Copies of this chain bind each other. A is one copy, B any other.
Amino acid sequence: MRIGFIGTGVMGKAMVQHLMTAGHQLNVYNRTKSKANELVEQGAVWQDTPAKVTEQSDIIFSMVGYPSDVEEIYFGTEGIFSNDVSGKIVVDLTTSTPTLAKKIQQMAIEKGAEALDAPVSGGDLGAKNATLTIMVGGNQTAFEQVLPLFEVMGKSVRLQGPSGSGQHTKMANQIMVAATMIGMSEMMAYADKAGLNIADVLDVVGGGAAANWSMANYGPRILNEDYSPGFFVKHFIKDLKIVLDEAEKMSLELPGTALALKLYEELSEEGYDEDGTQALIKLWWPKGNKNN
Chain A residues close to B by CB (< 8 Å)? 98, 121-123, 133, 135, 156, 158, 160-161, 164-165, 168-169, 171-180, 182-184, 186-187, 189-191, 193-197, 200-201, 204-205, 207-215, 217, 231, 243, 246-247, 250, 252, 254-257, 259, 263, 284
Contact = CB atoms under 8 A, between A and B. Distances in A.
Given A133-B204, A173-B208, 8 more contacts: A158-B204, A161-B195, A165-B194, A168-B194, A169-B204, A176-B210, A179-B184, A212-B213
B180 A175 contact: no
A176 B178 CA distance: 12
B200 A158 contact: yes
Contacts of A98: 194
B173 A256 contact: no
A172 B160 contact: no
A122 B208 CA distance: 7
Contacts of A165: 194-196
B179 A180 contact: yes
Contacts of A193: 247, 250, 252
Contact of A190 (B164, B210, B252): B252
Contact of A156 (B184, B195, B204): B204
Contact of A209 (B135, B160, B191, B214): B214
A170 to B, nearest CB: 9
Given A160-B201, A215-B176, A169 B196 contact: yes
A172 B250 CA distance: 34
Contacts of A191: 168-169, 172
A183 B194 contact: no
Contacts of A183: 175-180, 183, 256
B177 A210 contact: yes
A187 to B, nearest CB: 4
A204 B123 CA distance: 15
Which of A187, A201, A243 has most chain B Cβ within 10 Å?
A187
Contacts of A178: 183
Contacts of A259: 255-256, 259
A237 B110 CA distance: 54
Contacts of A243: 190
Given A133-B207, A172-B187, A256-B186, A246 B179 contact: no
A257 B12 CA distance: 38
14 contacts: A135-B204, A156-B207, A169-B191, A169-B205, A173-B187, A173-B208, A173-B209, A175-B186, A176-B215, A177-B209, A180-B210, A183-B183, A186-B256, A212-B212
